[in-house]
Structure 1
């Protein structure tokens, strides 16, 4: 359950759904496995369930006022090479039988037919996306490495609730400028400390990127690259000796790793069951992330309430 990535969104209006109403709405948009002809399915599952639709758990898990949600996506897996080969076989059969050439429009129709034939026999793969609402801080935090996964989570939540007034955090200072200055000065905004990884990019050419890993960032070659005009678009940091992560230019967080002392703190009290252990993990993690978000926003000059990314 410990988040590995973090996409942060802030509510423009207070979140005012109670857990009972929220559970009712999520149940209406619950996850159901793919049918014979479904390419993919997306829906809500209980954060604590071992299997989708487990009746022993709720669709929301509330701890210290924070509301954890979990979405599951299942999709059919049909390798493109298999589809291509089947379409080619059908096209060649028709060309030989009818003595004519198969053109693009008809080939696309053959592809659709092949998909319909293969879907019932296709394997499925699934993944879950966790997110929670920090009601006190008016934040939605999603454990998603990509923007697309976070957007799909929010889209389904918006469809479920009928509304979801959230926007990405817009800082008063430009994140790339701030991180570039941290590198130049070799000093981050406390309680952040620089680690040994960054990405330097050309502001006028996004494809022009230099990645540094396991590199002393005060080395002369890094300084030379910065002097050439490149900006820091990703930067690895240590926050408060509690977690390690990579900050990206949109203030999303990648490769989030909590220190063992926090994991041990969550395990101090022997949990009687999975639900209690989940509570303990969630309580410790959400407490740390609430302060982390405050420090993150402060490090970039605070949030600009009038600006939307």
Structure 2
């Protein structure tokens, strides 16, 4: 149940909700399936993979939530074909031209007619709230998906004071300096064998490197030629491997073999107890990792 991709937000104000209050708020906005005329629905579901019915799962001060989105699938080509058929009938029977406004009305009618027969696509997004440490960690590979969950949570709670962290130094520049040897890496952070570089002067100029030593002279020559690191694979404290992006998103998180072995040794037999253990360990590691990365990029920028 470890998150694979995370976008992390700072809690910038008060977050004074206990477990009962959060559960009550989430229940008010619980997920309900699409009705016959709904294009999509969004709401809260159980984050514990059905192990519990509650919409909030809390362990050691960490809170996990999950949002589910249902979208009806209407292929544009099917909609267009049916609209054209209706237009053809009208123009033939009434001997007149169908213009844009009427076409849009026909399209709406076609969509409403097709919705009850459309298939649904479901997407679930989880987030870990760490109020004591001051973070909200969203399991999402895009900012759009993360912001969708946060926007819904803000509407559910009435307020949600969070913001993406702003660091003093450019992550891209600092990661480039790590490889050039001009900047000391944070303790416990080791460079792996994958990176993406971009050229500031050439639009679309991208170099992707995988399975190569990133600290050798050939690679450094790209940096000296003006390219900059925008993605870098690293290992942290022999526990986690991941890709750091220039926007501070963390992608492709994997446990190291050492970490897996340690967790297997401590693994309880009960599924719910295992979920609690994994969630607590994930919360501890992530809330240790991100402050370290922020410090490595110069610390948080001062807000005006």
TM-score by length of 1: 0.91
Contact kept, 8 Å, 2:44 with 2:55, in 1: the verdict is yes
Q: Distance in 2 between matches of 1:280 and 1:97?
A: 69
Aligned partner of 1:166 in structure 2 is 162
Aligned partner of 1:47 in structure 2 is 47
Moved more, 145-154 or 180-189: 180-189
Flag structure 2 segments of 5+ consecutive residues without an equivalent. Answer: none
SS at match of 2:152: helix
Q: Distance in 2 between matches of 1:44 and 1:264?
A: 33
State yes or no: 1:178 paired with 2:174.
yes
Moved more, 267-276 or 91-100: 267-276
1:243, distance to aligned residue in structure 2 (A): 0.8
SS at match of 1:3: coil
SS at match of 1:128: strand
Assess, with a 3 A threshold, how the Cα gap between structure 1 residues 266 and 305 changes in structure 2: closer, same or farther: farther
Contact kept, 8 Å, 1:197 with 1:235, in 2: the verdict is yes
Aligned partner of 1:199 in structure 2 is 196
Flag structure 1 segments of 5+ consecutive residues without an equivalent. Answer: none
1:229-264: CA deviation from partner (whole Å, max 9, x where unpaired): 221111111111111111111111111112243344
SS at match of 1:114: helix
SS at match of 2:47: coil
Alignment counterpart, residue 63 of structure 1, candidates 59, 63, 70: 59
Aligned partner of 1:240 in structure 2 is 237
1:97, distance to aligned residue in structure 2 (A): 2.1
Aligned partner of 1:16 in structure 2 is 16
SS at match of 2:204: strand
Aligned partner of 1:95 in structure 2 is 91
Aligned partner of 1:275 in structure 2 is 272
1:13, distance to aligned residue in structure 2 (A): 1.8
Assess, with a 3 A threshold, how the Cα gap between structure 1 residues 211 and 300 changes in structure 2: closer, same or farther: same
SS at match of 1:238: strand
- RMSD of equivalent CA atoms: 2.0
Aligned partner of 1:286 in structure 2 is 283
Q: Distance in 1 between matches of 2:230 and 2:266?
A: 41
Aligned partner of 1:139 in structure 2 is 135
Q: Distance in 2 between matches of 1:262 and 1:284?
A: 11
Aligned partner of 1:262 in structure 2 is 259
Q: Distance in 2 between matches of 1:175 and 1:269?
A: 36
1:2-26: CA deviation from partner (whole Å, max 9, x where unpaired): 1001111111123210000110010
